[in-house]
């Protein structure tokens, strides 16, 4: 068994509490769906947001999901880099798995698809 990192990112249109919570859940569910793991398999999740998002901690959305209340979560502010993608939420999930790095499916949604077009799955 290995501890692998799974990356994901999404964007919101507004610095709005409900929108941040909703998009965080959509992103996490898509990562879980594509990689087929359970909360028990997770070592921890790092969550970052760009500095223009400060309405709410996105970890709250994950904490309220059934079965996710014991997963260690940490929120932080993404580095403020000139011309970087605005209103972006990123997840770094450390999961225990037998999958190789090549089998891991990273997820980029909304405008965050621009961050890693090489990893975006055609819909």
Task: Write out the catalytic residue numbers.
Answer: 7, 63, 75, 78, 90, 108, 116
Closest CA to 119 of 36, 35, 62: 35
At residue 41's C-alpha, the angle toward residues 36 and 45, to 5°, is 95
The two tokens of residue 1 are: 């068994």
Q: C-alpha distances in angstroms, 54 versus 3, 51, 77, 86, 88?
A: 31, 7, 9, 12, 11
């Amino acid at each position: 068994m290995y501890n692998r990192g799974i990356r994901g990112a999404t964007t919101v249109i507004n610095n709005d509490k409900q929108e941040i919570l909703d998009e965080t859940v959509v992103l996490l569910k898509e990562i879980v769906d594509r990689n087929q793991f359970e909360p028990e398999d997770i070592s921890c999740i790092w969550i970052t947001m760009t500095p223009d998002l400060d309405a709410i901690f996105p970890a709250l959305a994950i904490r309220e999901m059934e079965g996710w209340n014991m997963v260690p979560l940490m929120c932080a502010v993404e580095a403020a880099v000139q011309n970087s993608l605005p209103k972006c939420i990123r997840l770094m999930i450390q999961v225990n798995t037998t999958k190789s790095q090549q089998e891991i499916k990273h997820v980029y949604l909304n405008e965050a698809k621009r961050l890693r077009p090489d990893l975006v799955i055609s819909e």
